[in-house]
Amino acid sequence: MSNHYYSKVPEVQHDRKTLEFELRGVRLKFTTDAGVFSKSGVDFGSRVLIDALDIPVDAKVLDVGCGYGPIGLSAAKLAEKGHVTMIDINERAVALAAENGKLNGIGNITVLQSDIYSSVRDKRFDVIVTNPPIRAGKSVVHQIFEEGYDLLNPGGAMWIVIQKKQGAPSAEAKLLELFGNVEEVTKEKGYRIFKAIREGSEKV
């Protein structure tokens, strides 16, 4: 099972490539590799999420399941006076995300290997963003929602992209159960972007 993108140590042979994409009007370079999510290019769901994100310029952001970094690095450009923590269980993805931060001159990031939230349980965030690992199973996806709620500051927002056919209705129901609110920000080609706010004094 160690060849899944959500494996801690991928065993597939390396196949490094450096690609360039435009995200939110900014051209970014990404080195990718075999054994990480969407190695051939930024996947459509992540693009829809990146386009939808509304992040305060000084926010503390957490990217859960960062892969080689497209969502987290895009968030870091939006939160240019804030900081983005990027986490993934996959050590190859973590190394690439850190490398891609340097490649693009983006310094307001921290990249950590983490089994879900194991490396950041003592931290709190204004925004959590995730393109969750659907293939890891519904229980893992819902764990990301449940434990992420506790890491959000009051008024903080969780942003999620998920396909309708891969569990969007159950994800929406789970978010509503946890947060008491959920907004479908946009949808495109079956991908739905949800935003849920932890109730508090100031909404993000």
How many Å apart are CA 76 and CA 82, to the nearest integer? 7
Nearest to 157 by CA among 132, 181, 188, 133: 181
Token pair, residue 110, equals: 């921290």
End-to-end CA distance of the chain: 38
Tens digits of residue pLDDT in 99-141: 999 999 999 999 999 999 999 999 999 999 999 988 788 999 9
Residues 185, 179 contacting (CB under 8 angstroms):
no
Half-sphere exposure of 157 (CA within 13 A, CB side): 18
Task: For Cα atoms 67, 69, 73, give the angle at the middle one, nearest 5 degrees.
Answer: 155
Token pair, residue 16, equals: 């490094």
Amino acid at 51: D
Q: Where are the alpha helices (DSSP H) in 33-187?
A: 44-52, 70-78, 91-103, 138-151, 168-179
The whole-chain average pLDDT of the chain stands at: 93
Tens digits of residue pLDDT in 11-31: 789 999 999 999 999 999 999
